[in-house]
Amino acid sequence: MPEGDTVWNTARVLHRALAGARITSSDFRVPQLATTDLTGWTVRESASRGKHLLLRLDAPDNAPWTLHSHLRMDGAWRAYAPGERWTGRPAHLIRVVLRSPGAVAVGYHLHEMALVPTAEENQLVGHLGPDLLGADWDPAEAVRRLADDPEQIIGAALLDQRNLAGVGNLYKCEVLFLRGVSPWAPVGAVPDLPGLVALAQRLLAANRGRWTQSSTGSLHRGQTTYVYGRRAQPCRRCGTAIRKEELGERVTYWCPVCQPEQPGSPTTG
């Protein structure tokens, strides 16, 4: 699943490929934008907000617009040189193609696509909490939002983008392990919310600019995480087998020894 740092990296790839360029043709393959033609529009910048990607454009009359997309679990943008073979995903997953003189941007399996005046971006991302990788990152506000619902379990609270924007399952699992907190602990029982939030921001920031996500400091295959993706493997601290719980699309990995269990966790009922 793309997390905040992945979307940040994707936005930078698109910015390098398209910023300042005039679009020579566009092809939207989603019903809500099927008749949209961006030919002659200029790409101002590409930016991210949590897990949302914002491609900001100037129309021929200089009016500012934003093309919004969300990667969710399976979306991706790729930038190719003109004439280069598109190898990102199967062709039937393509949702948009933007051509410029120097690059072709292809969006695969994108979600929540919308074209809105830039002044109305807030309607699409205004509900989000502080962006862990944003210039306006506000840890105190993130802590306040988390603490506002002390009965919610911390695993779910970290994934709620209204609290802080950018954390997905990988960082949720890794941060809670590193802080020794059960994923099923109520927010109100977490001893140091500011420390937990600060760690989440540091981990995402450390992985900015690279595609390999690591919370251990190692970039070697199989050594990048403490618990995520390591079901039944020994905990790197205590040797206990890592556990995994699946709840719909949400997956939690944790060490039952290093992260003391709470009432209601899968092993306590």
Q: Which residues are catalytic?
A: 2-3, 51, 250
Neighbours of 45 (CB within 10 A): 15
Percent of residues in the chain assigned helix, strand, coil, to nearest 5: 25, 25, 50
* Phi, psi angle pair for 61, to nearest 5°: -90, 10
Residue 141 and residue 128: Cα distance in Å, rounded? 12
**Distance of CA 226 to CAs 8, 238, 247, Å?**
23, 11, 21
Place of tokens 């719909």: 248
C-beta separation of 46 from 53 below 8 A: yes
- Torsion from C-alpha of 13, 18, 24, 28, nearest 10 degrees: 40
What are the DSSP calls for 28-84, one per residue?
A: E-SGGGTT---TT-EEEEEEEETTEEEEEEE-TT--EEEEEEE-TTT-EEEEE-TT-
